[in-house]
Amino acid sequence: MDIGHLAALTAPQVLLAQHNWKAVVGGQNTDKAHQALAFLPNELWIHAGDSITWTQKADDIHTVTFLTPKQIFPAFQVGCPGYNFPAATFDGSTCVTTPPLAPGQMFTVQFTKAGNYKVVCLVHNTMNGTIHVLNPSEVLPHNQDFYDLKAAEELHALLSDIESHMKMEAGPDHDGDDDTVRVIHGNKHVTAGVGEISATPGGLQTGSLVRFLKGTIHIEAGDTVEWSSHDPEEPHTVTFGTEPGDPFPPSANVTVDSDGARHAIITSPSDSVHSGFIEATLVDDPGLLPQNPLDFTRFRVIFHTARHLQLQMRPARQPRHGRHCGGNSLAPTPS
């Protein structure tokens, strides 16, 4: 980009009132394995009376939400309570939120009062941004071309970072062992998703890889395979056989080991086993809520069969949106 073009993007702008700005919610690569959990860009300056239209660009679900000061962070299934769609006005006095958005859906918010407002996603609590609403007499620092470029840069950075993490997780470590499928006393380990939280002056963004690493492993009958989540934000599930209607809880044949890991036994290729959510423990909010309990981050399965098995992992928060997170192919051989 030449200096003249850059100067045009960053020069202060005097725009007419009632301007509609464009922004993006979420992003992904072509096979949908790499997810950007972000508002793109996650910081904008507009005038009071202006509106912003966000377009959902990812298969992972998100909300566009503005809460009131000191409001308790609600569950996405509940909303504020309730939802506003496809448009709303916001002045900081009453919360507004979309329901979980599907790809291509748009939501427009008009900001009627000057102030600095935080936009959040109720599905992902490490996905937020800032909207600076200035008085109409003040000069805006950027135009739409700048925000489009900034959104593209932030998306590229998030997807590139998670690609680097994938290569590190899938490659051998300094000892020459494989980090994602390693044998320890007859056990094998599989990474079920990785992620990284990053920050800009506007807020937090997260890049997530929703895949098993590696895809195919060979085990002996009687071996134990452990799946563990390395993702700070996205929950995942591990499922053999029939997929449950409710992905949140584990199946009835899952127990809990003394160290807090979930555990199951498969004795036949016809067995159905579901891990329930495996996910990182939520960040605590000092002074607001009780300490969050430890979550389940590991799922172990003992295989007493010498058959080829296939499993699927779905993004746990939106199991009906059709985006599989890849699968493991397990090929046990008789011991």
Domain around 104: 14-158
**What pLDDT is recorded for position 284?**
61
114 burial class (0-12, 13-18, 19+ CB within 10 angstroms)?
A: middle
pLDDT at position 190: 66
pLDDT given for residue 281 in this prediction: 75
Residues 113, 212 share a domain: no
| Average confidence (pLDDT) over 215-220 | 71
Q: Are both 166 and 280 inside the same structural domain? A: yes
Question: Of 109, 137, 158, which marks where a domain is finished?
Answer: 158
Q: Render pLDDT for 259-315 as a digit per residue (tens, 0 to 9).
A: 989 999 999 888 999 999 888 777 766 566 676 778 888 899 888 865 555 554 444
What is the value of pTM for the model shown? Answer: 0.73
Cα–Cα distances in angstroms (integers) from residue 155 to residues 40, 41, 211, in the given order? 7, 9, 19
182 vs 129, which has greater pLDDT?
Answer: 129
Q: Which of 158, 187, 213 is the last residue of a domain?
A: 158
Do the domain assignments include residue 23?
Answer: yes
On whether both 46 and 195 belong to a single domain, the answer is no
Is the CB of residue 17 less than 8 Å from the CB of residue 47? yes
The answer to whether position 114 is within a domain reads: yes
Is 3 part of any domain?
no
Please determine, for residue 320, whether its predicted confidence score (pLDDT) is greater than 70. no
Which pLDDT score is estimated for 289?
67
* Any domain includes 8: no
- DSSP secondary structure code for residue 44 in this structure: E
User: How many independent structural domains does the chain possess?
Assistant: 2
Residue 291 and residue 218 share a domain: yes
Shared-domain flag, residues 207 and 314: yes
